[in-house]
Amino acid sequence: MSTVKFFSGETVPLEMHKVRMVQKINLHPVEDRLASMQEAGFNTFLLKNRDVFLDMLTDSGVNAMSENQYAAMFQADDSYAGSETYYRLEAVLGDMFGTKHFLPVHQGRAAESIISQTLVKPGNTVLMNYHFTTSKAHITIRGGGIEEIIIDEGLKITSDYPFKGEMDLNKLQEAIARLGAENISFVRLEAGTNLVGGQPISVKNIREVSQICRNAGIITVFDASLLADNLYFIKTREAEFADVDIKAITREMGSLMDITYFSARKLGAARGGGILTSNDALANKMRELIPLFEGFLTYGGMSVREMEAMAVGLRETLDIDVISQTPIFVEALCKELLSKGVPVVTPPGGLGCHVDAGAFCDHIPQPEYPAGALAAALFIASGVRGMERGTLSEQRREDGTEPLAEMELVRLAIPKRVFTLSQIKYTADRLAWLYQNRRLIGGLTFDEEPKVLRFFFGRLKPIGDWPEKLAAQFRKDFGESL
Ligand X SMILES: *Cc1c(COP(=O)(O)O)cnc(C)c1O
Q: Are 126 and 165 in contact (CB under 8 A)?
A: no
CA 220 – CA 427 distance, rounded (Å): 39
- Which candidate, 34, 108, 148, 133, places its Cα nearest to that of 379? 34
Known catalytic residue at 80: yes
Instruction: CB nearer to ligand X: give 273 or 383.
Output: 273
CA 335 – CA 386 distance, rounded (Å): 18
Known catalytic residue at 465: no
Position 201, amino acid: I
CA 194 – CA 238 distance, rounded (Å): 20
Q: Candidates 29-37, 265-273, 357-365, 381-389 — which segment interacts with ligand X by CB under 6 A?
A: 265-273
Give the residue nearest to ligand X (CB): 108
Least CB distance to ligand X at residue 60 (A): 5
CA 151 – CA 135 distance, rounded (Å): 20
Is 194 a binding residue for ligand X by CB under 6 A? The answer is yes
Q: Are 30 and 474 in contact (CB under 8 A)?
A: yes
Known catalytic residue at 171: no
Least CB distance to ligand X at residue 224 (A): 8
Instruction: CB nearer to ligand X: give 411 or 438.
Output: 411
CA 478 – CA 426 distance, rounded (Å): 14
Q: Using CB under 6 A, which of 42, 97, 130, 132 touches ligand X?
A: 132
Q: Using CB under 6 A, which of 148, 190, 238, 331 touches ligand X?
A: 190
Q: Under 8 Å CB-to-CB from 291, ≥6 apart: which residues?
A: 297
Catalytic residue among 136, 188, 235, 266: 266
Q: Candidates 46-54, 131-139, 342-350, 384-392 — which segment interacts with ligand X by CB under 6 A?
A: 131-139
Site size for ligand X (CB under 6 A): 16
Catalytic residue among 109, 164, 305, 389: 389
Q: Using CB under 6 A, which of 32, 35, 60, 70 touches ligand X?
A: 60
User: Could you give the angle at the alpha carbon of 357 between the alpha carbons of 394 and 441, nearest 5°?
Assistant: 105
Q: Are 268 and 74 in contact (CB under 8 A)?
A: no
Q: Using CB under 6 A, which of 51, 55, 166, 223 touches ligand X?
A: 223
Using only the alpha carbons of the chain, give its radius of gyration: 22
Known catalytic residue at 132: yes
| Residues in 96-125 that interact with ligand X by CB under 6 A | 107-109
- Which candidate, 314, 254, 261, places its Cα nearest to that of 106? 261
Least CB distance to ligand X at residue 128 (A): 11
Catalytic residues: 80, 132-133, 223, 266, 389, 455
Residues that bind ligand X in the complex, under the rule CB under 6 A: 60, 107-109, 132, 134-135, 190, 194, 223, 225-226, 263, 265-266, 273
